[in-house]
Amino acid sequence: NPNQKPRKAVPIYIEALDDIFATTTDNPSPFIIPLMKMDIQGFECWALHGMHRRVLQHVQVIETEAAPPFLEAQGCSVTEMQRRLATLGNFTITM
């Protein structure tokens, strides 16, 4: 659209949840996450990857949606998301 103003790029900072919630000498105790809700438009596989080392050990329930076009745009699929969840614990996807 020739009348539309160009958008300004905004830098963002990305950090894995495993790194944010890392155990330190100041915070050695484990934590519990009773419910994790993810609605991140196809980036679910990336999010699962960023929390597979530590955070998911403490999550009791994950609620997420699986939208194939959004997952595929990020190089993932519903099948791959199910596989990742199955290897991480007793999690399922509701579609």
Residue pLDDT, tens place only, 32-84? 888 888 888 999 888 888 887 777 777 888 888 888 999 999 999 999 988 88
Averaged pLDDT for residues 11-32: 74
Mean pLDDT of the chain: 80
Tokens for 48? 């699962």
Q: Where are the beta strands (DSSP E) in the chain?
A: 36-38, 62-64
Name which of 39, 47, 41 is nearest 69 in CA terms: 41
